[in-house]
Structure formats: C-alpha cells, structure tokens
Structure 1
C-alpha cells in the first residue's frame, strides 16, 4: 500500500513543478517586479478585460466586427497576463506547500475574493440567458447568443485573474537583496 493518496501525490507534483518554474522564471523581467510596475500591469489588465466586455457589446450590433476585435484583445490579454504572472511569482495559483503561512493567508483571501467576483459577474449574463431562453416561442438572434457567450467567458476570465491581480497590487516590493540577486 502506498503511503500517500493520489491527491497527495498530485499536490507533491504540483509543488515540485511550481518550485522548478519559480526558479526558472525568477530572473525574468527584474525591473518589472516592483510594486509600481506590477500595479501598472494590473491597471492595463483591467482595461483589457473591460475592452473584452465591450467587444461583447459590439457583438450585439455586429458579430463580425466583434469577432475581429476579440482576437487582438485576447492576444494583448495573454501577453499582459503572462507578464503579470511572471513578475508576481504566480502566487495566486501557487500550491499550498510552496508558500509560507503569510503567503498562504494572502493567497486564500485573494482566491476567496476571486470566487465572489466570478459568481457575481457570471450570474448576470447567465440570468439573461436563462430568462431569454425561457420565453415560449422566442427566436433568439445569433448575435445575442454570441455576445452572451463572450460576456460569460469574459466574466470567468476576470474571476480567474482577480486573485493574481489582488496579490500583485498589494504585495510589497521585494527586499533589496532579492532584487539585486535577480538583476
């Protein structure tokens, strides 16, 4: 009989992978690891996410234009999100065993807020879809369905990004010695 369960082995694997990746990326973008630069990335990410929601609104009027706007918005989102994850050390989705008590408390608090954000924001387009779909004999325009799908997708992305955004915004600057090591 193995001493560990499947979940424990998976958590151990996640922790090893996280620590290996943390070591690999800890020297990347050293000048972007300051609180000021991380906050700038959070603001840019919030603007991009707002634009993604606006693209959903555009799709209500013109689905082709909306679809064409969605692609660059997602591309810019992916670059910004990846940069934020690198400079903040991916603390928002770090495994439990890779964090100390303070980091764990911060991560869990940010995740709790992220879950609340996800639930509240996703409820709105989902409720509209339920109400619209419950109308007897209603024929729903494809633009509406496409836009609603983009709204739901955007709200899920917002909720998934929220913990990392909170942690990147609130974390202090790295210690001077740590910053000198990474440069």
Structure 2
C-alpha cells in the first residue's frame, strides 16, 4: 500500500499541473519574440526599467513628489516582465516535476545566481538605511520611503534574475541541430572546423 502523499507533495503536484496547463496556454503567445536576439532585447529593456526604479528610489530621498514617478516605472516594468516570462517559458519559476533533467539543472543554476544577485543588491538599501540613520539621527522624512523603494527594486531584480538569465542564455527554439546554429552561436573550436 503506497504511503499517503504529504502536504508538500500534494502542493508540488498541484503546482506542476497548474504550470503545465499555463504552459499550453502561453506557448503560442508572442511567437516572434521567442528568438534569442529578441529575448535579449527584452532582458535589456527590463534592466533599463530596473535602473529607472532605482533612480526613482534615489530621487525620493531629495524630492517629495518623486514617488509619483514610481507609477510610470511600474507601467514600464509589468508588460516587459510578463513578455519575458512568456517567451522564456517561465522556466525560472517552474516546479521540478514539470522539467526534464537538463531544464532542472539550468533552472537551479539560474536560481543560484539569482540568490547571489539578491544578496548583493539588498546590500544597497540596507547600507543606505543604516548609514543614513546614523548620519541624520532618523530625522530625514523620506528615508523610510526611499529605503522601501530601493528594497523593493532589489527584491524584484533578484526575483526576476533566474528568468532573465534563462531568457538570455537559452538557444533559439529550433536550433537543436548543429546545422541550425549561426556562426555566432558556435564555439571557437566549431568555427575552426567550419570551411
């Protein structure tokens, strides 16, 4: 008699079913943006959105009306992030049960890098809040809001990093064979052997 599934196992099975159902729904969306070149453009656009978010956070320290700039920054972030998640197949957030061994290895490597990115970026708002509190004695009126926006942006960068890495590094969908690879995709050893 098989042991009853634990709560975690049932939740993982539910996540896998939901992920596979969503994958079928999204696999035909944005077909022209699934090439490596266009995925990389989306990743660069998302990096620009994060830079704008960080800039808004810094401006909040100096200007009381700067938080209003957070709205256009979010309006820029959400469609770009949604597009990257769709064209990258949402592998950065995929449950293990929905991936083959190679995909799981790629996802885990990207998540490991994403954790390091999160830790490094979180050092920025933490340093700002700690040093700023000591210098100002905690009297600066916008320090908490500035620190909050910088922290939120750092967490977004870290959370989005695995999908961004996979979108940047994965080959084109139909480039499994050596003949389909472009000269730029080949290793230096491959290029030496090409006549």
Given the two structures, how large is their TM-score scaled by the length of structure 1? 0.90
Gaps (5+ residues) in structure 2?
177-195
Aligned-pair CA distance for 1:98: 0.5
Distance 2:106 2:21 in 1: 22
CA–CA distance in structure 2, aligned partners of residues 56 and 154 of structure 1: 8
Give the structure with the higher percent helix: 1
Residue 57 of structure 1 deviates from its aligned partner by 1.1
Q: Which has the larger radius of gyration?
A: 2
The range that moved more, 120-129 or 75-84, is 120-129
Q: How many residues are aligned here? A: 175
Q: Does 2:68 align with 1:83?
A: no
1:126: which partner in 2?
126
- TM-score, length-normalised on structure 2? 0.85
The change in CA–CA distance for 1:161 and 1:136 in structure 2 (over 3 A counts) is closer
Higher relative contact order (CA 8 A, sep 6+): 1
Q: Which residue of 2 aligns with 1:175?
A: 174
User: Equivalent residues in 2 for 1:20-169 (5 A)?
Assistant: 20-64=21-65, 66-133=66-133, 135=134, 138-169=137-168
Asked whether the 8 Å contact 2:40–2:168 carries over to 1, the reply is yes
| Whole-angstrom CA distance in 2 between matches of 1:52 and 1:156 | 12
For the Cα contact (< 8 Å) 1:63–1:146, is it kept in 2? no
